[in-house]
Structure 1
Amino acid sequence: MERRKFIGAFSLAGIIGAMSPKNILAATDKSKTSIGYAINDREYWWKLLNKIASPVVSNLANGTLIKNMPVEKSPTFDSRSLSVTYLEAVGRTYAGIAPWLALPDDESAEGIARKKLRADAVNGLNKCFAPGSPDALNFAKDYQPIVDAAYLAQSFLRAPKALWEPLEAETKQRIISAFKSLRNRKPFKSNWLLFGSITEAFLLSVGEDYDAERLNEGPKKLNEWYKGDGWYGDGPNLAFDYYNSFVIHPMMVDTLAVMADKKLVEQKVYDLALKRMQRYAVGQERMISPEGTYPAIGRSITYRTGAFQALSQVALMEKLPESIKPAQVRCALTKVKQNMYGTPGTFDKNDWLQLGFCGHQSEIADYYTSTGSLYMATLSFLPLGLPASHDFWTAKPVAWTSKRAWAGEAFAKDYHVDY
C-alpha cells in the first residue's frame, strides 16, 4: 500500500472531495490503456472498484438509489418486476466490496476512500430497510430476490465486523425478517439452490433459526451434479459458462465453511469443496490470454469480470495452488480489467455500468438482465481484502500462464484431477 500521508496543507474535507470517483479516475480515463498510469496495480484496482461501486452505495446512503439509478433492461426482458434490479445492484455490489471494506482504517488515500465507502454502505442499509424508505428493496415479489438476498448474505459473511455488526439493531431484525420471508418460494433446481443455502447459512451464523432442508439442499445436490476436474453441473447437465465462478464454487465453499464451523458437516466435506475450487481456479488463470482477454462464452457475460470470482476468492483466501504465483493472478486480472473497463460505453456519463461485455452492447443481455444485474462485476475485486503489504500486491510483475506459453517460455504442465 502507498502509505502517503495527506497531512498539513490538505484538509480532510479537501481530501474527501478529491476522492470522488470522477476525480479519482479523471486523469486516467483518456484512453483504453491510460488507466494503467496508476502508480501501481493496487491503486488501479481500488480506484476502479470505487468508481464502479460508488454510484450504488452513495445513492443508497442518500436515499436516492431508485430515483437516480438509470435502469436499462435487456431487449428480451421477461415478465418479472423490474423493481428487482435495485436489490440486484445492492446485493452484488456489497458482496464484491465486502473484503476491501473489512480492512482496518489508515490515513492513506486508499484508506480514506475505503472508510467513506464503508460508512455509506452501512448508512445505506440502515436507510433502505427503514419503514417508508424511498429505496425499499423488493423481497416480496418474484423469485429473483432469492438470488440477491444471497449475495447480501454473502457480503455479511465476508465482512461481518464491517457490514453487519455496525448496523442498527432494528435494521438487523428487518434484514433477518426479509431473508426468512423468502422461504415461501423454492429455489429452482440449479445453482439457485445455493442461494437458499447461503442465506440460511448466514442466519445460522448469527444465531437465528434456520431452515435445515434449505441449508443442506444446495451442497447436497451440487455434489450429486459434480462432473469432475473442478466443474459442477448447473443442474444435472454441464453448462459451459461462468456459473461455476459467478455462483457455485464461492457459495458452496462459504456455505460449507459455516456448516463446518457449526459441526453440521465434517471438515473433510469443506476441504473437498475447497480443493475443487482451487482446481477450477487453475483453469480460470489459464483461460486469460496473453493479451488479457478471455472467451465470451455462455450466458450472463454482461456480468463482465464477475466471471473470475472463483479465482479471485482463492487468491483472497491465500489458497492458490503452488503452480500459480499471486503476482500471476494480479497481473492477469489487471490486464483484463484495463481492457474491459477502459472501453468506451462500459460506463455512462455518471459512471453507472451499462449493458454489455466490452463496451455498451445491450443486445447481448439475457432475458433476466437489467442494470442492477451488472454489479456482479465487483466480484473480481475480492483480493483487495488482502493488505497492501501482501505478496499479491508487492511481488514483481509475473507473466501469467498463457502469456508464458505463447512467448515460448517455460510454464507449468496441467493435468486433470480425480477428486
Structure 2
Amino acid sequence: MPTLLQLHGPAPTGREAWADALVAIAAPATRLAALGPGRQPVHGSTNDPGATWFELVARPLWGLAAHAAGGLTGAETQWDQARTALAAAVDPDHAWYIGPPMDLEQRLVESAAVGYALAAAPQYLWDPLSAGQQERLADWLSAAALRRPHENNWRFFPVLAAAGLRTVGVPVDEAVADAHLDMIEDFALSDGWYADGDHGARDYYVPFGFHFYSLLLASLKAVDDDRATLYRRRAREFAAQFRHWFAADGAAVPFGRSLAYRFAQGSFWSALAAADLPAVDWPVARGLAERNLAWWWRQPLAAEDGSLTQGYGYPNASVVEEYIGGGSPYWGTKVFAALGAPAGHPFWTGEPAGPAPTETVSVQPAAAMVLTRDAHGDVVALAGQCPPAWNPRGAAAKYAKFAYSSLAAFSVPLDTASLHQGAFDSTLALSDDGTHWRTRTDGEAVVEGETLVVRWRPWPDVAVETRLTPDGGGHLREHRITTARTLHTAEGGFCVPLRARGRTPSGTVEENGFASAAADGVSSEIVCHGAGGRRRAGEAMTPMAGSHLVHPRTVLPMLRGTLEPGEHILRCRVSVTRG
C-alpha cells in the first residue's frame, strides 16, 4: 500500500510545503464528500451514516480554514467541494440532509469545525453561498449552538459554532456561550492540564482539544481578554510538560483514545503559532511539529486513492474506537493550524530546533505520569491513569498499562481469553483459571518523588500495589500482591516487530527469570529482580496479528509464574532501546 510519503512527496518542511501537504491530504476527503453520503467510506462506526458523512464534510475544514486565514491559495477546488457538500447537508429539502442537530450527538462535534471555518475563512465558506443557503446554514448552526454537549471537551463546540455565526453577522445567545466557558473551568487542573470531563482522562484531548480550541478562540478574539489571558497562561504551563511527550525521531508517546487522529498529536505546537503565543521558543515549537509530521510521513497511512485510513501506524480498524468512521482521521488536519500565521511569523522564518540531546525524567502529577527520555531520545511514560468510565473500545490498554513507549508503542487486546489474543505488553495479567486474564482497569495513583505508585484490585479478594520507577534507560516494577486465590501471572515487556518467517526473530532469548527479543534495530527485555527472582519463566510469545498499533506482527518478551494464596512481591526491570 502506498504511503503518504510516496503519494505526497517528502515530509513537509516550511510553510509552502505544509500548505501543499494540507491540500493533498484534504483533496480525497472533499472529493468524496462532494459525491454525497452514499459514496463515503464504510466502516463500523456507532454513528449513523449522516453523522459519519458529515465528519468527512467538516473535518478537513480545520486545515483548510487555517490555510485560507493565512492568505494562501491553491485550495479553491477543495473549498468548492466542501461548500457544495455542506450546503446540501444542512438543507432539509435536499436528499443529503443530515437532520437537525440534537443533544449529545456526533453532529455537534462537526459544528465546531464549521464554526471555526466561518470565523477564519468566511470568504470561502460563507460569501459564495446564495442567500437561501446562508439562511439554512445559519439556522442549522444556530440550533447546534443551543444543543447540550457532553460534559467534557465538547463544551467548546457550541462556543466555536457561535464564534462563526457572530463573524458572519448572525445573532447568538452570548449567555449560553459564556455558560459553556464557565463550565470548562471545572475541568482545569494544575500545570496547564485539564481532565476530559469529571474525573476524566488526561490524554491528547488536552492538547488537540482544550488548548487547541481555547487558543483559537483567543486568536479570533471570540473570548474576553481575561479568558484569553488565562488560556494563554495555561498553554505556557502545559507546553513545559507536553514537550516531553515527543521523542527525538518525532514520534509522540501513544496514549489514550482517538489515536486514529494521528498527526493531530502535534497540533498544539501549530496552534501556538496561530495564536502568536511563544509558549516555547519558536524554533522549538516548529521542530516539535515538523519532526512529528516527518514521523507520520514514514508510516503507511493512506489508501490507494490517497484518503486517510483508520488505524494508527498502519490501516487497522481493530485498534480504534467504535466511534471512528471513514472521515474521522481528518481531525488530523488540525496540525496545519500554523498556516494561519503569516509567512513572516517567527514560527516560519527561523530554522526548526533539533531535539533535546539529554536524558531526562519529567514528573507530571496532573497526568499521573513519570516520563523518561533515554540517550537515543526515545520516551517512555510510566502511567497511573484509569480508563474513562464509559469504557470505549480498548480503553484499559490505552490508559491503564504500566508504560507507554514512543519507540515500541503498545498492543490492544482482541480478546482476553488467551495470552495470544490479549497481547499484554507493558502490564501484569492475572488469571485464576489459566485461561481468562485480567489486567488493571481501576485503582488510584500517587507520585512519590520519581516513583509512581498504583493500587488496584483485579478481584475483590486480590489487592495489588505496583511501584514504577525510572532506572537508567529502563524502568523497575515492583508488585506487592495479596491474594486469597491461586493466580497465574504473565508480565509483559515491550513488543518488537516480527517480519521474518517463523514465530520469533533471531536473537530471542527465553530462560528462567529473563526474556528478550530484538528486531529492526530495537531490543526489548524483561528480567526478574530481587530474591527468588528467577522463579518466573521467561517466554517470548507471539501476540495475535493486528493487535499492535504500529507493527502488524510482533514478539513480546514475558515472564510467567504462579502464586499461591498469600502475600507476594514480584520485581523486574523492563527496557526497550535502539541497538
> Are 2:71 and 1:71 equivalent residues in the alignment?
no
Specify which of 238, 244, 247 is matched with residue 209 of structure 2.
247
Specify which of 19, 25, 38 is matched with residue 46 of structure 1.
19
When you count helix as a share of all residues, which structure comes out higher? 1
Task: Provide the C-alpha distance between the structure 1 equivalents of 2:168 and 2:19, rounded to a whole number of angstroms.
Answer: 30
Q: Partner residue of 1:343?
A: 299
Residue correspondences, number? 362
Contact map agreement 1:316 1:383 (CA 8 A) in 2: yes
Residues 1:70 and 1:404: Cα distance change in structure 2 (over 3 Å) = same
Q: Partner residue of 1:414?
A: none
CA shift digits 1:373-404 (9 cap, x unpaired): 11101001111223444432332242134679
> Are 2:272 and 1:295 equivalent residues in the alignment?
no
> Are 2:277 and 1:333 equivalent residues in the alignment?
no
CA shift digits 1:117-173 (9 cap, x unpaired): 344444544455556545434444671111111121122222233433333322221
Contact map agreement 1:102 1:161 (CA 8 A) in 2: no
> Are 2:146 and 1:146 equivalent residues in the alignment?
no
Secondary structure at 2:189 match in 1: strand
Specify which of 356, 360, 364 is matched with residue 311 of structure 2.
356
CA shift digits 1:328-377 (9 cap, x unpaired): 33233222222223322x11111111111111121121121111111101
Secondary structure at 1:171 match in 2: helix
Task: Provide the C-alpha distance between the structure 1 equivalents of 2:31 and 2:79, rounded to a whole number of angstroms.
Answer: 10
Q: Which aligned pairs between 1:7-406 and structure 2 lie closer than 5 A?
A: 28-29=5-6, 35-36=9-10, 40-60=13-33, 63-73=34-44, 77-78=45-46, 80-104=47-71, 111=73, 113-126=74-87, 128-129=89-90, 133=94, 135-140=96-101, 143-182=105-144, 185-255=147-217, 266-321=224-279, 324-344=280-300, 346-401=301-356
Residues 1:331 and 1:254: Cα distance change in structure 2 (over 3 Å) = closer
Partner AA of 1:352 in structure 2: S
Structure 1 residue runs of 5 or longer lacking an equivalent are: 1-21, 106-110, 410-419
Structure 2 residue runs of 5 or longer lacking an equivalent are: 361-372, 377-579
CA shift digits 1:161-212 (9 cap, x unpaired): 3433333322221111112333674212222222122223333343333234
Task: Provide the C-alpha distance between the structure 2 equivalents of 1:283 and 1:119, rounded to a whole number of angstroms.
Answer: 40
Task: Provide the C-alpha distance between the structure 2 equivalents of 1:171 and 1:54, rounded to a whole number of angstroms.
Answer: 23
Residues 1:396 and 1:304: Cα distance change in structure 2 (over 3 Å) = same
When you count strand as a share of all residues, which structure comes out higher? 2
Q: Percent identity?
A: 23
Contact map agreement 2:116 2:164 (CA 8 A) in 1: yes
Question: Shift in Å at residue 299 of structure 1?
Answer: 0.8
Task: Provide the C-alpha distance between the structure 2 equivalents of 1:221 and 1:128, rounded to a whole number of angstroms.
Answer: 30
Task: Provide the C-alpha distance between the structure 2 equivalents of 1:403 and 1:292, rounded to a whole number of angstroms.
Answer: 15
Partner AA of 1:224 in structure 2: D
CA shift digits 1:272-298 (9 cap, x unpaired): 112212332343333211011011101
Contact map agreement 1:45 1:381 (CA 8 A) in 2: yes
Task: Provide the C-alpha distance between the structure 2 equivalents of 1:130 and 1:402, rounded to a whole number of angstroms.
Answer: 55
Secondary structure at 1:369 match in 2: coil
Task: Provide the C-alpha distance between the structure 2 equivalents of 1:195 and 1:188, rounded to a whole number of angstroms.
Answer: 10
TM-score (norm 1): 0.76
Secondary structure at 2:327 match in 1: helix
CA shift digits 1:209-245 (9 cap, x unpaired): 3234431232111112211211122222241211112
Partner AA of 2:43 in structure 1: E
Contact map agreement 1:72 1:354 (CA 8 A) in 2: no
TM-score (norm 2): 0.56
Secondary structure at 2:210 match in 1: helix
Contact map agreement 1:203 1:209 (CA 8 A) in 2: yes
Task: Provide the C-alpha distance between the structure 2 equivalents of 1:184 and 1:41, rounded to a whole number of angstroms.
Answer: 40
Secondary structure at 1:36 match in 2: coil
Task: Provide the C-alpha distance between the structure 2 equivalents of 1:389 and 1:183, rounded to a whole number of angstroms.
Answer: 35
Contact map agreement 1:289 1:402 (CA 8 A) in 2: no
Secondary structure at 1:371 match in 2: coil
Partner AA of 2:63 in structure 1: G
Question: Shift in Å at residue 315 of structure 1?
Answer: 1.6
Partner AA of 1:395 in structure 2: G
Partner AA of 2:75 in structure 1: R
Contact map agreement 2:251 2:292 (CA 8 A) in 1: yes
Secondary structure at 1:83 match in 2: helix
Secondary structure at 1:187 match in 2: coil
Contact map agreement 2:145 2:157 (CA 8 A) in 1: no
Residues 1:328 and 1:127: Cα distance change in structure 2 (over 3 Å) = same
Contact map agreement 1:150 1:196 (CA 8 A) in 2: yes
Partner AA of 1:360 in structure 2: P
Compare 334-343 and 299-308 and name the one that shifted more: 334-343
Contact map agreement 1:94 1:152 (CA 8 A) in 2: yes
Secondary structure at 1:229 match in 2: helix
Partner AA of 1:355 in structure 2: Q
Task: Provide the C-alpha distance between the structure 1 equivalents of 2:374 and 2:186, rounded to a whole number of angstroms.
Answer: 40
Contact map agreement 2:111 2:141 (CA 8 A) in 1: yes
Which protein shows a greater Rg?
A: 2
Task: Provide the C-alpha distance between the structure 2 equivalents of 1:328 and 1:187, rounded to a whole number of angstroms.
Answer: 35
Contact map agreement 1:91 1:152 (CA 8 A) in 2: yes
Task: Provide the C-alpha distance between the structure 1 equivalents of 2:129 and 2:355, rounded to a whole number of angstroms.
Answer: 41
